Amino acid sequence: MTMRRTKTWIGLAAAATVATTATPALAQDDPRFCPTRPSIGGSSCTTEPGRVHVELSSLDWQRDDQPDQREDRIVTADLLTRVGVGKDTEVQLEWVGYGRDRTRDKAGGTVDTVTGTGDLTFAVRQHLAGEKGKPFSAGVQVFATAPTGRYPIGAGTWSTGVIIPLPYDLTEKVAVASTTEADAAANQSGSGRHLAYSEITGLRYKFTDSITATAELALRRDDDPDGHDTMASAALSAAWRPTKVVQLDILAVAGLNRAAPDLRLVTGGAILF
């Protein structure tokens, strides 16, 4: 074998080695696709600069069966748009396209039905701590809601609040999360605001890279002047990602005490542009 042929074989071997070692690195360079849905808790993950998350509830049905009345609410086209504006910062805009609320008085049998659009919510989310590959992360989200919808689809007056999510990966498949929220919530009367706060604890399990399930417990205190309530609920959700930028999901929430709505079912998905 000549010296020139030997050098040629050495060069080809080196190129093959570089290509083999570089391929996994390229495969790991996936887009940051982290929908907040279908969890009822918050998220510390933000959209990458220049990219857009779109999340949509195709159907959101809730039933609240109280001693004096039964209320059924259906919301469709609940659209959330998340835009990355900085390395760890995103802005959000959410709008409920259509809602239908039906309330039946159990004593008299009268039925009151309201339809219309919902409110418009603007939010800013900031990732505070945590890096890719690290188990702990933290974030904060502040939001304000404008009363663009008709009550009870909308709140009737503006409100604002702050959300602090704290997720932690126990293993590659199991993660826990805590979400604390405090709001200046709209009064049920449609005028003025009151304090409302909640704590959500969740456990997520990753079956595969494309299928995950999350179980959550939520406790919310609402100090509305018309009546103070403490609501307890449990949620179970699942998400499937057929591609790296598309997600389909489902959520079920059950009330654990009389103050909480009895049942809520949500279907929808998300896409990254």
180 and 268: one domain?
yes
Query: Over the stretch 208-238, which tens digit does the pLDDT of each residue have?
Result: 999 999 999 999 999 999 889 999 999 999 9
For residue 81, name the pLDDT band (cuts at 50, 70, 90).
very high
Exposed e or buried b per residue across 40-49, where buried means at least 16 C-beta atoms within 10 angstroms of its C-beta: bbbbbbbbbe
136 and 151: one domain?
yes
Q: How far apart are CA 36 and CA 39, in angstroms?
A: 6
* For residue 6, pLDDT beyond 70: no
Q: Mean pLDDT over residues 230-259, rounded?
A: 97
* For residue 1, pLDDT beyond 80: no
193 and 231: one domain?
yes
CA angle at residue 82 from 80 to 88, to 5 degrees?
150
- What is the per-residue pLDDT for 175? 97
Query: Over the stretch 231-240, which tens digit does the pLDDT of each residue have?
Result: 999 999 999 9
95 and 189: one domain?
yes
Lowest mean pLDDT of 8-22, 141-155, 161-175, 221-235, name the range. 8-22
79 and 212: one domain?
yes
What is the total count of domains within the chain? Answer: 2
Q: How far apart are CA 51 and CA 144, in angstroms?
A: 23
* For residue 4, pLDDT beyond 90: no
What's the gap between Cα 149 and its chain centre?
Answer: 21
* For residue 201, pLDDT beyond 70: yes
How does DSSP classify residue 271? E
From the list 201, 251, 270, 267, the residue with the least C-alpha distance to 54 is 270
Q: How far apart are CA 7 and CA 16, in angstroms?
A: 14
The enclosing domain of 169 has a CATH number of: 2.40.160.40
22 and 141: one domain?
no
Q: Give the pair of three-digit tokens for residue 145.
A: 């809601």
Write out the residue range of the structural domain in which residue 43 sits: 32-272
170 and 52: one domain?
yes
Lowest mean pLDDT of 18-27, 79-88, 153-162, 262-271, name the range. 18-27
- What is the per-residue pLDDT for 107? 84
SS3 per-residue string spanning 108-137 = CCCEEEEEECCCEEEEEEEEEECCCCCCEC
CB-side neighbour CA atoms (13 Å) of 254: 5
165 and 211: one domain?
yes
Q: Which residues contact 10 (CB under 8 A, 6 or more apart)?
A: none
Q: What is the tally of helices (H) and strands (E) in the chain?
A: 1, 13
